[in-house]
């Protein structure tokens, strides 16, 4: 009997990966801030030889290097981080938040494991909000079998006029891959569909004919709305496991 776990995330909480005894971890929770505010993203690490980095990732983009404990990229002058070896922390401080700062942020540890260089990363998310815009999913576990059909529900709440909803797929240690939005679906995801219901304010993801390849995947939805020129998005999490 095989058992797979499929995580569905609608606003990032956190995850961590480790190689040997080395590890990085960010606290879970939603970080929704206003434009102009200052925010600190915490990052705890376990390593005898810390070599730490921060990256920023926008939707459908590869991660962009922000800084390490020695240098900061010129385009990120509002960003800073100081290594605290006593508390084993490398927090990222962002001053004077801009709308463009809405993104996923990775705290990464470079380590040598089995004679290979690895990047161990933990993720958190900042959203810019001008109101109570958010997306929600019911928590809990869904159990299904291979070839079954599953529906992952997502409710959105916004006072904005324009709403843009997306689903992404993310394999462990990989960048997110766009699945669909309310207008288009990528050719590789013909078994996946979602229909926006503006009356019930839902955008459920439907997966037909479950495959083994659907396992060990982080899937998350994003809701972007334009409200007072600010872009806001939120996420919650749900777990799907299935057996055969």
pLDDT (tens digit per residue) in 30-69: 677 777 889 999 998 888 888 899 999 888 788 899 999 9
Report the pLDDT value the prediction gives residue 211, as an integer from 0 to 100: 80
Residues 139-149: tens digit of each pLDDT: 445 667 788 88
**Residues 71 and 103 placed together within one structural domain of the fold:** yes
The more confident residue out of 229 and 31 is: 31
Flag whether pLDDT at 222 surpasses 80.
no
Average pLDDT (12-26) is 55
Neighbours of 239 (CB within 10 A): 14
The more confident residue out of 162 and 31 is: 31
**Residues 159 and 92 placed together within one structural domain of the fold:** no
Cβ proximity of 171 and 219 under 8 Å: no
**Residues 175 and 224 placed together within one structural domain of the fold:** yes
pTM: 0.48
Mean pLDDT of the chain: 73
The more confident residue out of 126 and 161 is: 126
d(CA 129, CA 101): 11
**Residues 139 and 124 placed together within one structural domain of the fold:** no
Give the CATH number, domain containing residue 93.
Answer: 2.60.40.10
**Residues 148 and 182 placed together within one structural domain of the fold:** yes
**Residues 118 and 23 placed together within one structural domain of the fold:** yes
d(CA 192, CA 149): 10
User: Which segments within 13-83 are labelled E, that is strand?
Assistant: 18-19, 22-25, 31-33, 39-41, 44-46, 52-57, 64-68, 79-81
Please tell me the total count of domains within the chain: 2
**Residues 143 and 81 placed together within one structural domain of the fold:** no
Model confidence at 230, pLDDT cuts 50, 70, 90, reads: very low
Report the pLDDT value the prediction gives residue 146, as an integer from 0 to 100: 80
**Residues 33 and 61 placed together within one structural domain of the fold:** yes
Report the pLDDT value the prediction gives residue 106, as an integer from 0 to 100: 87
d(CA 58, CA 81): 20
Domain of 95, in residue numbers: 18-128
Report the pLDDT value the prediction gives residue 12, as an integer from 0 to 100: 28
Model confidence at 91, pLDDT cuts 50, 70, 90, reads: very high
């Amino acid at each position: 009997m095989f058992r797979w776990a499929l995580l569905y995330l609608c606003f990032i909480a956190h995850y961590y990966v480790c190689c040997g005894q080395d590890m990085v971890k960010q606290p879970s929770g939603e970080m929704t801030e206003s434009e102009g505010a200052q925010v600190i993203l915490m990052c705890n690490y376990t390593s005898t030889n810390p070599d730490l980095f921060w990256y920023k990732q926008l939707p459908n983009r590869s991660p962009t290097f922000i800084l390490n404990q020695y240098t900061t990229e010129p385009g990120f002058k509002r960003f800073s981080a100081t290594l605290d070896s006593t508390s084993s922390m490398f927090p990222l401080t962002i001053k004077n938040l801009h709308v463009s700062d809405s993104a996923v942020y990775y705290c990464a540890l470079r380590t040598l494991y089995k004679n290979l260089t690895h990047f161990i990363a933990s993720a958190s998310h900042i959203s810019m909000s001008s109101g109570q815009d958010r997306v929600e999913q019911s928590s809990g576990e869904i159990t299904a079998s291979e070839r079954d059909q599953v529906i992952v529900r997502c409710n959105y709440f916004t006072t904005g006029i324009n709403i843009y909803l997306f689903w992404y797929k993310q394999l462990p240690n990989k960048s997110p891959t766009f699945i669909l939005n309310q207008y288009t679906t990528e050719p590789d995801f013909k078994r996946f569909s979602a229909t926006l219901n503006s009356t019930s304010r839902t955008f459920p993801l439907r997966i037909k004919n479950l495959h083994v390849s659907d396992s060990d995947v982080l899937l998350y939805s994003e809701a972007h709305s334009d409200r007072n020129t600010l872009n806001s998005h939120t996420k919650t999490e749900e777990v799907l496991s299935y057996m055969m």
